[in-house]
Amino acid sequence: DAGVIQSPRHEVTEMGQEVTLRCKPISGHDYLFWYRQTMMRGLELLIYFNNNVPIDDSGMPEDRFSAKMPNASFSTLKIQPSEPRDSAVYFCASLDGGGSYEQYFGPGTRLTVT
Amino acid sequence: GNSVTQMEGPVTLSEEAFLTINCTYTATGYPSLFWYVQYPGEGLQLLLKATKADDKGSNKGFEATYRKETTSFHLEKGSVQVSDSAVYFCALSGSGGYNKLIFGAGTRLAVHP
């Protein structure tokens, strides 16, 4: 299996622009998680889905952030409009609910908002 | 609420030294406990886990024991290698293991030849 796939790996954008991050979970995994990593705040869970349904979005920082999972093999995290404080590494992870509790992380998208 | 506290880094060791990274937690119920490792430029990888009290997780020479009486899950390795240089995260999840992972701040380990 190719593992969790994220795109793009790096994104540089200007303040006010819309940013869309993409994730393809491991086939057969029914949970998908979005995390944000910064030096100041460490790793934070933003939102997670089970069977494509959002279960907990309490970590989404504000209305500028939205996430969707239209099918079992694709999810997006959108920031509109972006701000410099959104600069971070965003990770997607997936998990097999019938398996071993292990979340498999993608390589991350490094977002820089100037 | 649930939380994880781990020792601050960086931890700098010589090759073949003994490693301990402390991790303590606060949680209601019976959480599962994890150690994840992050190598430079990569996502996190599960290193080991324990799902109930007194369980010992082990992998690649690393081990950690779920101590409910001291609410701890310290990571140890008897002889570190340069290739172990990475950031190590202690984490917990709620009962069932599918709830959100709560991570500690991470501890950077640097191993020198």
Tokens encoding B25: 């937690």
DSSP A40-100: TTEEEEEEEEETTEEEE-TT--STTEEEEEEETTEEEEEESS--GGG-EEEEEEEE-TTTT
Residues of B in contact with A95 (CB under 8 A): 98
Tell which of B5, B8, B39, B44 to mutate to test the A interface (max A CBs under 10 Å).
B44
**Burial readout A56-84 (b: 16 or more C-beta within 10 A, e: otherwise):** eeebbeeeebebebeebbebebebeebee
Residues of B in contact with A50 (CB under 8 A): 98
pLDDT digits (tens, 9 = 90+) for A12-70: 999 999 999 999 999 999 999 999 999 888 899 999 999 999 999 999 988 999 999 99
- Measured CA to CA, the distance from residue A30 to residue A75 in angstroms comes to 12
In angstroms, the separation between the Cα of residue B84 and the nearest Cα of chain A is 19
pLDDT digits (tens, 9 = 90+) for B2-30: 899 998 889 999 999 999 999 999 998 88
Lowest-confidence region among A18-27, A75-84, A95-104: A95-104
Residue B96, pLDDT above cutoff 80: no
Selecting from A31, A43, A102 the residue whose C-beta is nearest the C-beta of B103 gives: A43
Selecting from A31, A42, A107 the residue whose C-beta is nearest the C-beta of B43 gives: A107
| Chain A CB within 8 Å of residue B85 CB | no
Instruction: List residues bridging with B45 in a β-sheet.
Output: B37
Strands B107-112 and B11-14: parallel
Q: Residue B8's pLDDT is what?
A: 85
pLDDT digits (tens, 9 = 90+) for B72-95: 999 999 999 999 999 999 999 876
Nearest chain A residue to B107 by CA: give it.
Answer: A42
Residue A1, pLDDT above cutoff 70: no
Residues found in chain B: 113
φ, ψ of residue A96 in degrees (nearest 5): -90, 110
List of residues 6+ apart from A62 with CB closer than 8 A:
none
Selecting from A42, A48, A100 the residue whose C-beta is nearest the C-beta of B100 gives: A48
Q: Residue B19's pLDDT is what?
A: 97
